[in-house]
Amino acid sequence: MKNCLIIGASGHAKVIIDIIESQNAAKIMGLLDLQHPIGARIKGYAIIGRQEQLPQLMTEYAIDEIVVAIGDNFIRQRVVESIRQNQPTLRFLTAIHPRATVAANVAIGEGSVIMAGVTVNSDAVIGAHCILNSNSVLEHDALLEDFASLAPQAAVGGATRIGVGAAVGMGASVIQCLTIGKHCVVAAGAAVIDSVEDLMLVGGVPAKIIRSRSLGEKYF
C-alpha cells in the first residue's frame, strides 16, 4: 500500500480522510497544517509538520503521494503550484469514494477528489485538483477544468464546460452546452441558463450576474 500525506486539516480534509480510508488504497502518514499544533490529531492522524517541511517529511515518512485538502479553489491552486515548482516529480493522490458512480471512460486528473454519491457520466472530463462534493452530478461530455469545484448537490448538464478555478455552489444547476468562465462563482441554488464570462458571481433563478469578482476573493 502507498503512503500518503494530506496538506490541510479542515473539514474538507476530514472528508478526504474518510474517502482514503474507504478506498483502502493508501496509508495516511499524517497531515501538514499551519493552524494546529504539531502532534494534534485529526480523526486519529497527527499533524506532523508544516508545508515548508514537505521535502524532508516525504523522505522521513517514505511518502508516495500527497493530496492538497484545501476547499478554496484559488488557495488550493496556489499551494499546488508552489509544491509543483519546488518538487516537480511529486505525485498527487486522486481520491474517489467507493459510493461514487463514475462512467468507465471518464478522465480524472491527479489530485482530484470525488465524494460519496457523486455521478459522473460518460465522456465527462475532470481536470487536476478538482472537487466534486457529495451528491453532485457532472453529466456526459461535460468538462470540469483544473481547480474547479462542484458543491454538494450541484448539477452540471451535458457538454457544459466549467472553467479553471470556478465554483458551482450548493444545489445550483447549470444547464447543458454552456461555458462558465474561469474563477466564476455560481451562488447556491442558482439555475444557470446562459454562459458566463470569466470572474463573475452569478445567482438566482434564472441566474443573473450579481457582480464581477477579483481573483482569489473568498466565496465561502
Ligand X SMILES: CC(C)(COP(=O)(O)OP(=O)(O)OC[C@H]1O[C@@H](n2cnc3c(N)ncnc32)[C@H](O)[C@@H]1OP(=O)(O)O)[C@@H](O)C(=O)NCCC(=O)NCCS
Q: Which is nearer to ligand X, 155 or 201 (CB)?
A: 201
Let me know: does 154 contact 168? Beta carbons within 8 Å.
yes
Closest by CA position to 69, among listed 28, 113, 106, 110: 113
Cell reading at 101 = 458512480
When asked if residue 209 is in the footprint of ligand X (CB under 6 A), the reply is no
CA-based nearest residue to 12, from 187, 154, 134: 134
Residue 12 annotated in active site: no
150 binds ligand X (CB under 6 A): no
User: Within positions 11 to 70, which residues make up the interface with ligand X, using CB under 6 A?
Assistant: none
165 binds ligand X (CB under 6 A): no
Point out which span in 32-40, 72-80, 139-147, 186-194 binds ligand X (CB under 6 A): 186-194
Q: Which is nearer to ligand X, 137 or 187 (CB)?
A: 187
162 lies in the binding site for ligand X (CB under 6 A):
no
188 near ligand X, judged by CB under 6 A = yes
Kindly name the residue from 12, 36, 97, 140 that is annotated as catalytic: 140
Sign of CA dihedral 142, 109, 152, 24: positive
Q: Name which of 32 and 151 has its Cβ closer to ligand X.
A: 151
Binding of ligand X at residue 219 (CB under 6 A)?
A: yes
Stretch that binds ligand X, among 24-32, 36-44, 84-92, 185-193 (CB under 6 A): 185-193
Q: Applying CB under 6 A, which of residues 133, 135, 136, 160 lies at the interface with ligand X?
A: 133
Residue 64 or 189 having the CB closest to ligand X? 189
Least Å distance between CB 179 and ligand X? Answer: 20
**In this chain, which stretch among 16-24, 29-37, 56-64, 188-196 interacts with ligand X, using CB under 6 A?**
188-196
Residue 203 binds to ligand X (criterion: CB under 6 A): yes
8 A C-beta contact, residue 66 and residue 86: no
Interface residues with ligand X (CB under 6 A) are: 133, 151-152, 169-170, 185, 187-190, 201, 203-204, 210, 219-220
Positions annotated as catalytic residues are 140
